[in-house]
Structure formats: structure tokens, C-alpha cells
Amino acid sequence: MLKAAAILFCGTLGGVILNAAEVPSFYREILPILAQRCQSCHRPGDVGPMPLVTYTEVRPWAAAIREAVRLRKMPPWFADPAHGKFSNDPRLPDAEVALIDQWVSAGAPEGKRPKQVPGPPPKDSWQLSPDMVISMPRPFVIPAKAVIEYQHVVLPLTFTYDRWVRGVEIRPSDRTVVHHAVLYVRPPSSKWLRDPNGPKTTTDDILAVYVPGSGAQVFPEGMAKKIPRAPTSSSSCTTPASLAPTPRTRPRSAS
């Protein structure tokens, strides 16, 4: 029984086994949990309201962190358990909640600072090594105070042959203000957003979705999605993207 518990700990914490009397250390047990489960949003320039990267940043939030993970408020996850288990469920396993709980109960100590402390993942890096980068034609400026409707942006593509896409990553230039984005493939036959009286909604295929904290989407081995080529060289294939911005207190641009 004891052995099984130790093996579980090895699995979740990369080899760290705690004695009952030992207090979890910020750098050894807590920071790896934050890095894996929280910093994709709680890092400078990202959607989380405060960075959770250094001890100084984390310490004032210790009690709130315990509360948020105990109640499973953080990481945010709204899937209804009535529909089964999800492989990308980001919530903390009980063992990690217990470690945070013990750490906070012990006064959230810093412990011994190692020589090298890992920083957050760099803010502006691609997770994929893209073969092609498509940018919005112009930035969308978000007013400080306003109700903003869905924004539809058409990204013109001029493929002369059908392309099969294995992975897609949507990267808002300012992640603090983009609520989510949906990237559709509009085939040449679709009338969506082609003229002002055309259809306002679509059943065109969705290529990828961005929500805060989501990473690149890579399709399973052997699978890809098709972006059809433009039918003639004079017209171009277009990929509309829908953007739902979150207004903040100061104007920002999102693209």
C-alpha cells in the first residue's frame, strides 16, 4: 500500500517523495505545479490577472491559490462531468492539491532557493514550428469601455493547390484582451461573409479554436484538415476568423 503511494508521487512529481513531517518547498514541489498547470495564463502579458512565476509574486496569493485549487475554480474548467471524462481535463490531481494545502498551512515558506530557478515559458514563442504564418490584415483596436460584437476577419489565402494542415496555433498578439477565437475554412463554394446580404452564420468547417491557456492544436498522427485551393488563379481562398474580445480598462490592440 505504502509503496503504491510512493510510486504515485513519483509519477506526478517527477521523483519527489515527501515524509509526512516534511513541509513542501516552494521550489521543489510548488513551483513545478504552478509551471505545469497555471503559468500558461498566469505569466506576464497573459490572461491571468497576476503572474505566478516568482516566489515574491506567488506568496501574497498563497491562501487564494489554495482556495482556488481546493474548490477546483482554477485552472478554469467548465466541462460537465455528466458527459464523461475528458483527456484534456486540466484540474489538479488530489495529490497536488494536498501538497499546496500542506505548503500553505506551513506558512507558504520559500525554502532553499536553488542556484537555477526556471523562468516562465518565453512570452512570444510558437509551440509549433510553423510552415506558414498568416497574420490579420490590420490590428483590431479594443476600446476601453464598450460592448463589442463578434468580429469577423477574413484572411486571404492564395493556395494554388489543396493544402493538408496537420497542426494550427492561433496566437493573439495581446492575450490579455482576447476572449477566444475561432478559425474557419471557407471553401470557394461558401457564401458566408462574401457580401453584406449574404448569410450571417455558417456551417463551414472549423480549423482551430483559441481560448486562454490553450496551446497549439495538432491533429492525430495520419490525420489532417483540408484547405481547398482557390478555384482559379484570379480569386483567392479565404479563411475567416472570428474574434471575441474582452474589454479591459485601457485600449489595446489584438491581432
Contact track, ligand HEC, 125-164, x by CB under 6 A: ----------------------------------------
Alpha-carbon dihedral sign for residues 80, 81, 83, 85: positive
- Binding of ligand HEC by 226 (CB under 6 A): no
- Binding of ligand HEC by 48 (CB under 6 A): yes
CB of 80 to ligand HEC, least distance (A): 18
> Cα dist. 9→25, 95, 200, 210 in Å?
15, 8, 52, 32
Residues 94-123 interacting with ligand HEC (rule: CB under 6 A):
none
217 DSSP β-pair partners: 168
Residue 122 cell numbers, joined: 518565453
Cα–Cα distance for residue pair 138/21, rounded to 1 Å = 58
Binder to ligand HEC among 4, 15, 20, 49 (CB under 6 A)? 49
CB of 106 to ligand HEC, least distance (A): 17
> Cα dist. 141→58, 178, 238, 250 in Å?
32, 11, 22, 11
- Binding of ligand HEC by 237 (CB under 6 A): no
Cα–Cα distance for residue pair 243/140, rounded to 1 Å = 9
- Of 229, 235, 159, 234, the residue nearest 194 (C-alpha): 235
- Binding of ligand HEC by 249 (CB under 6 A): no
Task: Give 200's contacts (C-beta < 8 A, 6+ positions apart).
Answer: none
Contacts with ligand HEC: how many residues (CB under 6 A)? 20
- Binding of ligand HEC by 171 (CB under 6 A): no
CB of 58 to ligand HEC, least distance (A): 9
Identity of the residue, 13 or 193, whose beta carbon is nearer to ligand HEC in the bound complex: 13
Identity of the residue, 28 or 166, whose beta carbon is nearer to ligand HEC in the bound complex: 28
182 DSSP β-pair partners: 209, 242
- Binding of ligand HEC by 76 (CB under 6 A): yes
Binder to ligand HEC among 16, 35, 68, 153 (CB under 6 A)? 68
CA atoms within 13 A on the CB side of 83: 6
Residue 6 cell numbers, joined: 510512493
CB of 46 to ligand HEC, least distance (A): 8
Identity of the residue, 75 or 245, whose beta carbon is nearer to ligand HEC in the bound complex: 75
Which residues are at the interface with ligand HEC (CB under 6 A)? 37-38, 40-42, 47-49, 61, 64-65, 68-69, 73-76, 92, 212-213
